Amino acid sequence: MSERWPTEIRLSGDKRILTVAFDGGGRFELPAEYLRISSPSAEVQGHSPAERKVIGGKRDVAILSVEPVGNYAVKLFFDDMHDTGIYGWDYLFDLGREYRNRWSTYLRELEERGLTRDRVASAPAKAAHSHGAGGCGSGSCGCH
């Protein structure tokens, strides 16, 4: 059971900032890009720390919806079709508390890998035709 309990979860009008406040203190404005690249899903985190993926091209990602998962988490649906991460209260709190360090690490890892925060132009028509919708798992979302 989570030690943290949210008192507010609000998605901004432009769908690019998720505000989360917690009882006992802590209020964070978490950018959609940060939440997307920090998704707790196996697609991003892998099944061990060595398998964690550094994902580029998510600067303009937006959150389409926020849905509760029981009383312990939310599931975020992103406009790049990623929707497999379940964000528990403790994880959201940690993301907020550790934002500066995690973001600095992410930017450094992007640079080390020659990646960018901006979407790379590719042949989306080919990807969409050969892989259906072109979401996560198809190779066209930027995380594979």
Identity of the residue numbered 23: D
Mean pLDDT of the chain: 86
Q: Model confidence over 46-69: pLDDT tens digits?
A: 888 889 999 999 999 999 999 999
Query: Residues 27, 6: contact at Cβ < 8 Å?
Result: no
CB proximity list for 76: less than 8 A, separation 6 or greater:
18, 35, 36, 39, 63, 65, 66, 83, 85, 87
Please give the pLDDT value at position 133.
Answer: 43
Q: Closest Cα to residue 108, out of 61, 59, 54?
A: 54
List of the chain residues with pLDDT < 70: 1-2, 121-144
Model confidence pTM above 0.85? no
